[in-house]
Amino acid sequence: MAQLTMVKALNLALAEAMRENPNVLVLGQDVGLDEGVFRVTEGLLQEFGPDRCIDTPLAEAAIVGGGIGLAFTGFLPVCELQFDGFSFQAFHQVENHVRRFRNRTRGRYTCPLVIRMPYGGGIRAVEHHSEAPEATYAHLAGLKVVIPSGPRNARALLRAAILDPDPVIFFEPKAVYRAFREEVPDAPETMPIGKGVVARPGKDVTLIAYGAMLRVALDAAEELADEHDVDAEVLDLLSVSPLDGELINESVRRTGRAVVVHEAPRHCGVGAEIVARIVEGSLLYLEAPVKRVTGYDTIIPYFQNELTYLPDPARVVAAALETVRF
Amino acid sequence: MPREPVKLPNRVETLSILAADGRVDTDLEPALDPADLRRLYRTMLTCRRFDERALTLQRQGRLGTYGPSKGQEAASLGVAYALEKDDWLVPTFRETAGLLWRGWPVHTWLLYWGGFEAGNVPPDGVRDLPVSVPIASQCQYGMGLAWGCKLRGAGRVCATFCGDGGTSEGDFHEALNFAGVFNLPLVMVVQNNHWAISVPRSRQTASQTIAQKAIAYGMDGLQVDGNDILAMIVATREAVEKARTGGGPTLIEAVTYRLSMHTTADDPKKYRKDDEVKEWEPRDPLLRFRAYLQKKGLLDEPGEREIDAEIAAEIEQAVRQYEQYRQDPAEFVQYMYAELTPELQAQQAELRAYLERKHAPAPAPVS
C-alpha cells in the first residue's frame, strides 16, 4: 500500500498498463520531457522511450485523429489533451470518427482510445482552463465518459478505460489532482465503467455527485449530520456515460429525496438526465422535488470569482434542507 | 549579412507521361504487365459504367444522393495499383476506381449510396477505410495509420486522399505537419478536380500549386497529371518506395477535373461554364488510356465488346443483390459499443417491442 495523490495514482496506472501491454502508447504535447503539464506522465519517457511516450506537435485534432489511425494498427493510444477547454479543437475527430467507427463499419474498425484531460475548476487557472464539458461528451453515443473522484478510483478507472474496447473520455478533476493522498493497493485493480458507488450511506436524502464535487457533497453530508441531524447518503457516480441509473434509483427510493451536485452549468447538464431518470424510475417514492446544485448557466468566471460559481458545501446543505423540510 | 533567397531542401515537380493527344514520353513510360494494363482499363471502365448506372438509379429513386467519379478515375486507380495488399488506403467518396481495384465489390458501393452502413465494410483482407464524409478529417487517421505502420516497422505505408477543397481544412495541414515531424510513411494524394461543389480551386488557395504546400511540411511535392494513369502509377510508386524505405511522406497533387456534378444534389450549370467542361472532356482519363491500349495492340473492338458485356453483367448482378438486401431494422442499436450498455439494452428491447406491435397483423374484423 502506498499513499498517493491522484496525479501519482494516474501515473501508476499508465506505467502499469504500458508495462503489461506493449501496444499501450501515450501521446500528447509535453508528455515527454516535461512529463505532462500536471506531471501525470512522469518517468514514462525514461522507462518506455520516445516511441511509446510520444511528444507531439501542438494540435489536439491530430493527437486524437492520429490516435485513431494508431488504433487501427493495433495500438492502444492514451491521448493527453492539456486542458478540457482545448478539447474542442479535437471535438470534430471525436464526434465524426472516434465514436462512430464501430457503428459505421459494423464492428470492423474500432477506436479503443482513451482521451485524458484535466477537468473542472478550482485551481485559479487562466480562462479556458476550468471548464466542465462532460454533458457535451455524454451526449455523444459511442463514447464512455468517466470522472474519478480520488486517487484510488482514478487509478482503477484509468486501467479500466485502457482495457475497454470502446473510446473513453477520461476527465481528471484538477482540484483533486494534489488535494489529498489516499491508500492505493500495490496490485493493479479496475473498477467497472458505468457503475457508481455509495460514498457515504445515509437514509434521509441522497446527494448525487462526481469528480471534485464528491468532496463538496461529503462535506455537506457531515454538516447536515452534525448541525441538522440529517443523515445524507452520498453517491459517487464515477461515470456519467453510461450513467448508473440503478444505483441512483435504488438510493432515492430509500431516501425519497435527492440533490444533484455538479460544477458544470445546469441547463442540459448531467443533472438534468439524473433528474429524468429519477422521475422515470422513482416518481412515486419522492417526498420532495429533486434539487440541483450546479454551476450557473454562464461562462465560469475568471479565477478571482470562480469560487462563487462552483458549488460549495453550504449551497448543498441549503438545498438538502429544502428537500428535507419540503 | 546579405539578403538572399532561402535554400529549401525539398522539391516540387510536375509529371506527365501520357498526353491527352495520345503521345507518350517513352523515357518515363513505365513497363507494365499487359495483363495488368487490361485489368486497369477494365476497372476504370467499370467505375465509369457504375457511375452512369448509379446516376440512373438515383434519378429513378432507387439510390440515395450519389457523388460521381467521372473524369477522376485514373487518379485513385493509379494510386491503388502502386500499393501492395497490406498497405492502407484512406479514401474519400471519389476514389471508387481505386477501391474497385482493391477488391471492393460494386454491390458494397451500392449499399453505401443506398443508405446502408454495411456499405462501409471492406471485404475481408482489404485494408481500406470506408469513405470519410467530413472533408479532410480522414487526413488525420490516415496520418495515424502511417504512424502505426512506422512504429510496427513492417514496411507498410498509407495512401490518404482528399480534394482541393480539403486543403483549406486544418486537418489537412495538421496531418501533413505530423507526417513531416515524425517522418511517416504517408502518401498524401490531393485530387485537385478544380471544384469544391461550386467554389473553384482559385478560391481555396492563393498558392500556384497545391503540391508546393509540401515544402512547408518538410516533404517533396509532386504535381501529377491526374488524368494520366501512367503518371499516377509512376508518381505513387516513387512515393511509396520512399515511404517504405524510411524516406518519409510525399504530397501528390493529382490535377484532374470533375466532369460531372458534385453530387446528384447540385447542378453545375449554375456555377461553372460549359466551355470549361468542354475543354476538359478530351482530357478524359478513360479515352486517353483506351487510345494508349489500342496503340499498344492490347485492346481491339471484339475485346472491348467482351469487356463491355462482362461489366454490364457484373453491374446488373450487383444491382439485383443490392435491391434484395434486407436489414434488421433494430440492428442500428447493436454496434454502438462492444457490449451494449444497460440503457441501450433497454432501448433496443423497447424498439423491438414497438416494431413487433407496428408490424403485427391487424386483428380480424369483428362483425
- Residue B191, all three cell numbers: 485530387
The alpha carbons of chain A give a radius of gyration, in whole angstroms, of 19
- pLDDT value at residue B222: 98
Please pick, among A129, A139, A228, A262, the residue that the annotation labels catalytic. A129
What is the spatial distance between Cα B64 and Cα B114, in angstroms, rounded to a whole number? 5
Determine, for residues B144 and A97 on separate chains, whether the beta-carbon distance falls below 8 Å.
Answer: no
CA B33, B34, B40, B46 dihedral sign is negative
Left (φ > 0), alpha (ψ -120 to 50) or beta: where does B182 sit? alpha
What tens digit of pLDDT does each residue of A82-129 get? 999 999 999 999 999 999 999 999 999 999 999 999 999 999 999 999
CATH value of A197-324 in 3.40.50.300, 3.60.20.10, 3.40.50.920, 3.30.390.10: 3.40.50.920
- The ipTM, to two decimals, is 0.95
Residues A68, A113 contacting (CB under 8 angstroms): yes
The partner residue sitting opposite A57, judged by closest CB among B158, B181, B335, is: B181
For the residues B13-17, what does the mean pLDDT come to?
97
Nearest to A93 among B140, B181, B337 (CB): B140
* Those residues with Cβ within 8 angstroms of residue A183's Cβ, 6 or more apart along the chain or in another chain: A1, A2, A3, A152
Q: Which of A312, A145, A137, A292 is nearest to A213 (CA)?
A: A312
Mutation site, A104, A140, A274, interface B, largest B CB count within 10 A: A104
Q: In Å, how far is A196's CA from the nearest CA of chain B?
A: 14
- Kindly state whether A109 is in contact with chain B, defined as any CB-CB distance less than 8 angstroms: yes
Chain A, 173 to 232: residues with Cβ < 8 Å from chain B are: 194
How many Cβ atoms from other residues are within 10 Å of residue B324's Cβ? Answer: 7
| Three-state SS at B293 | helix
Helix (H) or strand (E) holding A197: strand A197-200
CA A113, CA A60: separation in Å to the nearest integer? 14
State residue A4 phi and psi, 5-degree precision: -125, 150
Separation in Å, CA of B46 to nearest CA in chain A: 25
Q: In angstroms, what CA-CA distances link A51 with A25, A48, A302, B245, B309?
A: 8, 8, 38, 18, 53
In what helix (H) or strand (E) does residue A145 lie, and over which residues does it extend? strand A144-146
Q: Examine the pLDDT at B359 and tell me if it is beyond 90.
A: no
- For chain B, the structural domain boundaries read 12-324, 328-367
- Residue of B135, B152, B337 to mutate, interface with A, max A Cβ within 10 Å: B337
Grid look-up 501515473 returns A11
Residue of chain B minimizing CA distance to A192: B341
Q: Which three cell numbers stand for residue B156?
A: 507498410
The question of whether B271 is a catalytic residue gets the answer yes
* Distance in angstroms (rounded) separating the CA atoms of residues A119 and A129: 8
Judged by phi (left if over 0) then psi (alpha if -120 to 50, else beta), residue B140 lies in alpha
DSSP string covering B95-122: -HHHHHHHT--HHHHHHHHTT-GGGG-P
- Reading the block at residue B163, the C-alpha cell is 480534394
Q: Which three cell numbers stand for residue B271?
A: 456555377
Does the CB of A64 have a partner CB in chain B at under 8 Å?
yes
With a threshold of 0.90, does the pTM exceed it? Answer: yes
Please give the average per-residue pLDDT across B251-261, as a whole number.
Answer: 96
pLDDT at B367 over 70: no
Which residues make beta-bridge pairs with A183?
A: A3
What is the torsional sign of CA B354, B355, B359, B361? negative
Task: Tell which CATH classification among 2.40.320.10, 3.40.50.720, 3.90.550.10, 3.40.50.970 matches the domain A2-184.
Answer: 3.40.50.970
Cell digits for B142? 490516415
Give yes or no for A160 touching B (CB within 8 A).
no
Given B271, B305, B320, B354, which residue is catalytic?
A: B271
In angstroms, rounded to a whole number, what is the distance separating the alpha carbons of residues A81 and A37? 10
Percentage, residues of chain B above pLDDT 90: 95
Does the distance separating the beta carbons of B146 and A92 come in below 8 Å?
no
Diameter of chain B measured on Cα atoms? 105
- CA angle B283/B287/B292 to nearest 5° reads 105
Contact between A155 and A189 (Cβ < 8 Å): yes
- Is B41 an active-site residue? no
Instruction: Kindly report the nearest CA distance between residue A182 and chain B, in angstroms.
Output: 31
DSSP state of A305: G
Please state, in angstroms and as integers, the Cα–Cα distance from residue B263 to each residue in A114, A169, B55, B69, B258, following that order: 36, 36, 9, 10, 11
Task: Flag if B142 and A70 touch (Cβ within 8 Å).
Answer: no
Q: Which residue in the set A57, A93, A105 is minimally distant from B137, CB to CB?
A: A93
Beta strand A197-200 pairing with A24-28: unpaired
Interface of B with A (CB under 8 A): 88, 117-118, 120-122, 129-130, 132, 134, 137, 139-149, 151-152, 158, 170-171, 174-175, 177-178, 181, 332, 335-338, 341-343
Whole-number Å distance between alpha carbons of A98 and A84: 17
* A67 → closest Cβ in B144, B174, B342: B144
Work out how many CB contacts closer than 8 A connect A with B. 131
Q: Considering only alpha carbons, which residue of chain A is nearest residue B154?
A: A73
How does strand A2-4 pair with strand A182-184?
Answer: antiparallel
Q: Three-class SS of residue B313?
A: helix
Helix (H) / strand (E) element for A169: namely strand A168-173
Which set of grid coordinates corresponds to residue B196? 469544391
Average pLDDT of chain B to the nearest whole number: 96
In chain A, CATH 3.40.50.970 covers 2-184
* Residue B129, burial from CB neighbour count under 10 angstroms (0-12, 13-18, 19+): buried
> Which chain B residue has the Cα nearest residue A54?
B182
Cell of A44: 514514462
Helix ranges (H only) for B34-88 are 34-59, 73-82
Task: Give CATH 3.40.50.920 domain extents, chain A.
Answer: 197-324
With CA atoms as reference, the chain B residue closest to A140 would be: B336
B12-324 to CATH, choices 3.40.50.620, 3.40.50.970, 3.30.70.260, 3.30.360.10: 3.40.50.970
Q: What is the secondary structure of A47-92 as a DSSP string? A: HH-TTTEEE--S-HHHHHHHHHHHHHTT-EEEEE-S-GGGGGGGHH
Give tens-digit pLDDT for A238-279: 999 999 999 999 999 999 999 999 999 999 999 999 999 999
Is there a contact between B140 and A105 if contact means CB atoms under 8 Å apart?
Answer: no
Predicted confidence at residue B1, as pLDDT, reads 74
CA atoms of A195 and A242, how far apart (whole Å): 8
A314: closest CA of chain B, how far (Å): 34
Q: Is A75 on the interface with B (CB under 8 A)?
A: yes
Q: How far apart are CA B81 and CA B288, in angstroms?
A: 18
Interface test with chain A among B108, B147, B328, by most A beta carbons within 10 Å: B147
**Cross-strand bridge partners of residue A233:** A206
> Which of A94, A141, A142 minimizes the C-alpha distance to A117?
A94
Question: Residue B65 has which C-alpha cell?
Answer: 444522393
**pLDDT value, residue B132:** 96
Does the beta carbon of A78 lie under 8 angstroms from any beta carbon of chain B? Answer: no
Report the residue from A61, A142, A243 with minimal CB separation from B171: A61
First to last CA, chain A: 45
Residue contact A69–B158, C-beta within 8 A = yes
Report, as ranges of residue numbers, the positions in chain A whose pLDDT lies below 70: none
